[in-house]
């Protein structure tokens, strides 16, 4: 599959998803990196998006349905359409997830379409640093 990579003249798009026990961690991550993230279009599944909006009302976040109600699949469709630049999905590996099939499908689509995917905070920190460096380089050129 070919990967669609928007230039920084276009607004790249990040999808935000977090399992219940990781939502606070994702919200904290977004809050700490809001200066970088404000240059992206942001999509988020329902509850995660609501919590990000409450913490960071200055960020424009488009909320989709809750993950178990189709939000994961909506993000998967955006990936398949080439509209997602990266996926930040803070996964809780220690809790059961009734919609685990949807979660695996979302990860599979990210792999198939070669979308950078951060499944934990450590990876998200590295990825956001890369995005910040790319942004600075684009502004200099």
As annotated, the active-site residues are 72
Q: How far apart are CA 76 and CA 134, in angstroms?
A: 25
**Helix, strand, or coil here: 17?**
strand
With beta carbons less than 8 A apart as the criterion, state whether 52 and 23 touch.
Answer: no
For the chain, counts of helices (H) and of strands (E): 6, 5
User: Where do the DSSP E strands lie in the chain?
Assistant: 13-18, 41-44, 61-63, 86-90, 117-118
> For the chain, how far is it from start to end, CA to CA, in angstroms?
30
- The closest of 31, 27, 126 to 86, measured between CA atoms, is 126
């Amino acid at each position: 599959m070919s990967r669609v990579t928007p230039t920084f003249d276009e607004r790249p798009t990040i999808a935000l998803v977090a399992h219940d026990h990781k939502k606070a961690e994702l919200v904290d991550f977004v809050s700490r990196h809001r200066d970088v993230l404000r240059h992206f279009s942001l999509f988020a599944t329902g509850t995660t998006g609501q919590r990000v909006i409450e913490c960071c009302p200055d960020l424009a976040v488009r909320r989709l349905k809750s993950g178990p109600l189709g939000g994961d699949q909506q993000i998967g469709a955006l990936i398949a359409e080439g509209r997602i630049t990266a996926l930040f999905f803070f996964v809780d590996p220690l809790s059961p997830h009734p919609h685990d099939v949807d979660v695996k499908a979302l990860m599979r689509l990210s792999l198939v379409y070669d979308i950078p995917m951060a499944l934990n905070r450590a990876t998200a920190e590295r990825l956001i640093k890369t995005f910040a460096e790319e942004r600075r380089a684009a502004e200099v050129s």
